[in-house]
Amino acid sequence: MKDMTQEQARAEALRRWGAAGTIEFRPPRRPRALRGRLARYACKVGNGISGGLQVEGQGDTWVEAFEDAHPR
Protein backbone atom coordinates (compact mmCIF):
# COMPACT_ATOMS: atom_id res chain seq x y z
CA MET A 1 0.00 0.00 0.00
CA LYS A 2 1.18 3.51 -0.79
CA ASP A 3 1.99 5.68 2.21
CA MET A 4 -0.38 8.40 3.44
CA THR A 5 0.09 12.14 3.45
CA GLN A 6 0.16 13.92 6.81
CA GLU A 7 -3.41 15.12 6.20
CA GLN A 8 -4.59 11.56 5.57
CA ALA A 9 -2.74 10.34 8.66
CA ARG A 10 -4.36 13.07 10.79
CA ALA A 11 -7.80 12.12 9.43
CA GLU A 12 -7.17 8.43 10.22
CA ALA A 13 -6.05 9.27 13.78
CA LEU A 14 -9.22 11.30 14.30
CA ARG A 15 -11.32 8.43 12.94
CA ARG A 16 -9.64 5.91 15.28
CA TRP A 17 -9.34 7.93 18.49
CA GLY A 18 -11.79 10.80 18.05
CA ALA A 19 -10.84 14.38 18.85
CA ALA A 20 -7.87 13.16 20.92
CA GLY A 21 -6.21 11.43 17.93
CA THR A 22 -2.74 12.81 17.25
CA ILE A 23 0.18 12.23 14.90
CA GLU A 24 3.84 13.17 15.17
CA PHE A 25 6.42 13.24 12.39
CA ARG A 26 10.15 13.45 13.10
CA PRO A 27 12.19 13.16 9.93
CA PRO A 28 15.31 11.02 10.37
CA ARG A 29 18.58 12.90 10.65
CA ARG A 30 20.48 10.17 8.83
CA PRO A 31 19.52 7.59 6.22
CA ARG A 32 17.86 4.49 7.68
CA ALA A 33 20.85 2.29 6.85
CA LEU A 34 23.07 4.30 9.21
CA ARG A 35 20.67 4.38 12.18
CA GLY A 36 21.08 2.15 15.21
CA ARG A 37 18.49 -0.46 16.15
CA LEU A 38 17.12 1.73 18.95
CA ALA A 39 16.69 4.83 16.78
CA ARG A 40 13.32 6.56 16.90
CA TYR A 41 10.75 5.95 14.23
CA ALA A 42 9.80 8.87 12.01
CA CYS A 43 6.01 8.47 12.39
CA LYS A 44 4.04 8.10 15.62
CA VAL A 45 0.28 7.91 15.99
CA GLY A 46 -1.80 7.83 19.10
CA ASN A 47 -4.25 9.09 21.59
CA GLY A 48 -3.63 12.53 23.06
CA ILE A 49 -6.19 12.37 25.88
CA SER A 50 -3.82 13.48 28.64
CA GLY A 51 -2.53 16.47 26.68
CA GLY A 52 0.51 14.64 25.29
CA LEU A 53 0.97 11.92 22.75
CA GLN A 54 0.22 8.49 24.17
CA VAL A 55 1.84 6.42 21.43
CA GLU A 56 -0.36 3.65 20.10
CA GLY A 57 1.78 2.83 17.06
CA GLN A 58 5.01 3.85 15.37
CA GLY A 59 6.88 3.10 12.17
CA ASP A 60 8.99 4.51 9.38
CA THR A 61 5.82 5.35 7.39
CA TRP A 62 2.30 6.36 8.40
CA VAL A 63 0.95 3.03 7.16
CA GLU A 64 3.44 1.11 9.35
CA ALA A 65 2.54 3.26 12.35
CA PHE A 66 -1.20 2.58 11.97
CA GLU A 67 -0.55 -1.15 11.41
CA ASP A 68 1.47 -1.16 14.66
CA ALA A 69 -1.29 0.62 16.60
CA HIS A 70 -3.54 -1.37 18.88
CA PRO A 71 -6.97 -2.09 17.42
CA ARG A 72 -9.85 0.05 18.68
* Contact assessment for residue 24 and residue 42, using Cβ atoms and an 8 Å cutoff: no
Q: CA-to-CA distance for 64 and 49, rounded, in angstroms?
A: 22
pLDDT of residue 38: 57
State pTM to two decimals. 0.77
Q: What percent of the chain has pLDDT over 90?
A: 36
Which one is predicted more confidently, 64 or 51?
A: 64
Query: Which residue in 37, 55, 36, 33 sits closest to 46, CA to CA?
Result: 55
Instruction: Give the confidence band of 41 by pLDDT, cuts at 50, 70, 90.
Output: confident
Evaluate if residue 72 carries a pLDDT over 60: no
